[in-house]
Amino acid sequence: MNNPNKQKGTTWERAVRHYLNTALGQYVDHWQDAAYPWKDPHDPDNVTRPAQTGIKDVGDLHARPFVLECKAEKSIRLADYVRQANREAVNAGFPYGVAVVKAPRRRVEDAYAVMDLVTFGRVLQALRNLD
């Protein structure tokens, strides 16, 4: 990969995917040493990096029911990131878009998951409807 910014972004996407799959119990124990990390490769709850097809971007990661737009940039532009995440969620057919923004010089788990208040209200309503 010749573009260092693209490589940085790809590395960040992978780190977020691995962190979430580990936290959600989707990977086998000691997955870093395993030939294949998934407990069940067909589980729809796996956090995955979708293949980009067509002209409309469908986000960096799919974490059902969210599309995640992962950002690891020097200057942070939250409004742009959230708009992009929401647009890509629509393109992917997911109800919610979230920007995952790298905290400078911090661990993956210290990143920020950012959404607009409209999206947060819809997530809150959906969670309340589960009761």
- Amino acid sitting at position 18: H
Question: What are the pLDDT tens digits along the chain (131 aa)?
Answer: 578 888 888 999 999 999 999 999 999 998 888 888 999 999 999 999 998 877 899 999 999 999 999 999 999 999 999 999 999 999 999 999 999 999 999 999 999 999 999 999 999 999 999 97
Residue 98, number of CB atoms within 10 A of its CB: 27
Question: Using alpha carbons only, how large is the chain's radius of gyration in Å?
Answer: 15
**What's the maximum distance between 2 C-alpha atoms anywhere in the chain?**
50
CA 82 – CA 116 distance, rounded (Å)? 7
CA 94 – CA 100 distance, rounded (Å)? 16
CA 33 – CA 58 distance, rounded (Å)? 30
Whether 112 contacts 101, CB under 8 Å: yes
